[in-house]
Structure 1
Amino acid sequence: MNSDVKKYIENNSINPLFLVGDSFEVLRSIPDNTIDCCITSPPYWNKRQYANGGIGLEKDYRKYISSLIAIFMEVYRILKPTGSFWLNIGDSYKNKNLLNIPWRVAIELTDNGWILRNTIIWNKVKGGLDNSTDKLRNTYEPLFHFVKQSKGYYYDIDCIRNSPKSTKVVNGAVVSATGVSGVRYKRKIELSTELTEEQKANAYAELEKILKQVQSGEVSDFRMVIRGAQRTTHSDSEKVSGRAKELHEKGFYFLKYNSKGSKPGDIWDIIPEDTQGRKVHFAPYPEDLCKTPIILTCPPSGIVLDPFVGTGTSCFVAKQFRRKSIGIDIANEYIDIARKRCGCLGNEQSSLPVTED
């Protein structure tokens, strides 16, 4: 086991630990089930010459992919069963052919045991300059969320919910944030030719109950789907949709909005980090891309890992949210920048090459 890592795990400091070395070799020195969350953006294939060379300079993109897979399977080994792995990776062209490298990597990882829970589209909003006259500008990159097990991984969805809008009372009636008062639904129940009298009575009673939940704040908003008045939300087949079965048996169902707010979608508008004025590292990896994954999937007492840490963005964000973190990079000069950025000047062990007991 790497002695620096062992000491770091045992201490209480939230200052990041930075290790210089080849990611694959350093990861091999870390024991199984040690890391809570890994988030990284490796060098893209055939895009730039990074300090000290390293991955991304292979002549064949297939060799690049196989090198990444080997590294990420080491991540799989050292990640706790409750952990998450977030991968941002960009694409490349060869002979004008877009290679689909991110998707090739993601598919091979799932073929090797990883479970892909989400593909987030990072919309860069402005993107980079592109002088090509025979293709569109590339303004997005994927961010993949992988886990080791389908259930039981750490996921604090409430910490990233959007604040719900408030209900209000209009002329004595409770009105939801989107203007739902129940009057329109009562009218639809009354006029329904598909509901029995018993089903109508049940629908009125359930509607009154949910309106009280809105008034008390237990439910922030809702939709009522009534047989014959609206179609089912997802499918009309009772074999594949529980909603369709409920509609058939009861004649109605409700969609309730969480009182803590809605959860974000899988398209994130984040402007890339400004590269002006930087002379040694040019990856546009923004802090905002790291914030949600870290607070969402790393417990407060957990450890974040970045095996391609560069100038320390992920570790800097982890420290902001009081998480411990480990950053690995092959370039001493990047590690020095990362240490200064994260205020680790007094942590002499973080600048040492990797050693083993």
Structure 2
Amino acid sequence: MNKIICGDAIKKLKELESKSINMCMTSPPYWALRDYGSTVEIIWDEPPQERNDPATGCPHFWKEKIKKETKLQAGNPEFQRPWREEASNTSSSQFCFLCGAWKGQLGLEPTFDLYIKHLCDIFDAVKRVLRDDGTCWINIGDTYGGLKGGGPDKLEREKRGIQWKDKSEKFITRPPKANVPDKSLCMIPFRFAIEMVNRGWILRNTIIWYKRNCMPSSVKDRFTVDFEYLFFFSKKKNYYFKTQYEKASEVSIERYKYGWDGNIDRDYISGPQNHLNKHLGKEENRQKLIEQGRNKRTVWTINPQPFSEAHFAVYPEELCETPIKAGCPKGGIVLDPFFGSGTTGIVALKQNKKFIGIELNKEYIEIADKRLKPFLEQTKLK
């Protein structure tokens, strides 16, 4: 089952069996941050009949700059999409005059609305292949409006452990249009999460990935950003989840040891709050807290993990460990539709679980194959 599929995520997800995946763990390309080159450009938003039968579909007439006065916008309902008017003055992408499709790479859409639409279209396809008890965990970052490249400055890239060697893959130098004031955060993670909920996903947690050892920022008029978001969605109200624990603080242990209000003879809160479980202070629960820890919180301190290969944004293995432990049973399948250099697959294999990765960039697949090889060999030996 462990495999990497090369191709467009939406198309390749259609080839997977419905309700066959236990969980999804991934980090999509961030908006307005990097140009991965023309080899990863695909056609988006084609009318359904064209997607079903490309041979008889639109021949596509591409034009970089779509002017508002074009007559096609008036008579064709396909051209009334709200993101199309917002994008009409940009030349960073191509729209088809005939059918309204857009050609480009995920993350370089002319507006963040179109980017979020494309992301959510992909996760609609993910939802189909998820089991009804499946979950989806998505790491996504924000962008500043009106800034050159839209993404992090040099020092902020260093704090993520970002390195690159291939000059065909670069940070963009001309930002797409953002309908927010210059220098304002675009709030992309939250806009994305809201649209996911609008499409039927259940948002269970917003997790903060806090990076203790982040590099200082070179900007002078705001604070250094030292965190990213990890959204935890479920497909249904009832889903597989194995509770995870973390070490309890000494203060918490002492509180349990002496009772809620410092009185060792009383195991519950006095006053109107005593409807809470009065057994919380019993000795067995105190001991359990010491040995097992407390339920894991939603701020995770995880340092970035440098990576020497050409792939830019490699999230650390530790960021994947807890979601995969919590969301996938042993022998289950973890999906990553933006597989990149294969970190999700490595963590899945380490936990005796299987993986399916989808990646459009063939060079990244070569990197992932190289990284996964020793772990796959160990799996065969078992």
Aligned twin of 2:263:
185
Q: Within 1, Cα distance between the matches of 2:248 and 2:187?
A: 38
Q: Within 2, Cα distance between the matches of 1:154 and 1:346?
A: 26
Task: Indicate conservation of the 8 Å contact 1:185/1:224, yes or no.
Answer: no
What SS is found at the alignment partner of 2:232?
Answer: strand
What SS is found at the alignment partner of 2:203?
Answer: strand
Q: Which runs of 5+ in 2 are unaligned?
A: 41-104, 147-182, 378-382
Task: Indicate conservation of the 8 Å contact 1:165/1:177, yes or no.
Answer: no
Matches within 5 A, 1:231-246: 232=273, 246=275
Q: Within 2, Cα distance between the matches of 1:343 and 1:85?
A: 26
1:313 aligns with 2:343: yes
Q: Which runs of 5+ in 1 are unaligned?
A: 1-7, 9-15, 167-174, 188-206, 208-222, 233-242, 348-357
Counterpart amino acid of residue 137 in structure 1:
T
Q: Within 1, Cα distance between the matches of 2:298 and 2:280?
A: 21
Report which structure shows greater RCO (CA 8 Å, sep ≥6).
1
Match among 365, 371, 380 for residue 335 of structure 1 = 365
Match among 87, 109, 117 for residue 196 of structure 2 = 109
Q: Within 2, Cα distance between the matches of 1:301 and 1:107?
A: 32
Compared with structure 1, are the counterparts of its residues 184 and 108 closer, same or farther at alpha carbon in structure 2 (3 Å cutoff)?
Answer: closer
Aligned twin of 1:33:
19
1:118 aligns with 2:205: yes
Q: CA deviation at 1:48?
A: 1.2
Q: Within 1, Cα distance between the matches of 2:8 and 2:261?
A: 65
What SS is found at the alignment partner of 2:123?
Answer: helix
Aligned twin of 2:242:
156
Matches within 5 A, 1:227-306: 227=271, 232=273, 246=275, 253-256=278-281, 257=285, 259=288, 260-275=292-307, 277-278=308-309, 280-306=310-336
What SS is found at the alignment partner of 2:268?
Answer: strand
Q: Which moved more, 1:126-135 or 1:42-51?
A: 126-135
Counterpart amino acid of residue 258 in structure 2:
V
Larger radius of gyration: 1
Q: CA deviation at 1:181?
A: 7.0
1:225 aligns with 2:269: yes
Cα deviation, 1:25-58, whole Å, max 9, x if unaligned, reads 1112112101001000001011112253331111
TM-score for both structures, normalised by structure 1: 0.68
Compared with structure 1, are the counterparts of its residues 79 and 283 closer, same or farther at alpha carbon in structure 2 (3 Å cutoff)?
Answer: same
What SS is found at the alignment partner of 2:237?
Answer: coil
Task: Indicate conservation of the 8 Å contact 1:307/1:328, yes or no.
Answer: yes
Matches within 5 A, 1:66-105: 66-95=117-146, 96-105=183-192
What SS is found at the alignment partner of 1:32?
Answer: coil
Cα deviation, 1:240-279, whole Å, max 9, x if unaligned, reads xxx5xx38xxxx944354724311100000111214x33x
What SS is found at the alignment partner of 1:98?
Answer: coil
Q: Within 2, Cα distance between the matches of 1:128 and 1:286?
A: 16
Question: What is the percent sequence identity of the aligned residues?
Answer: 37
TM-score for both structures, normalised by structure 2: 0.64
What SS is found at the alignment partner of 1:224?
Answer: coil
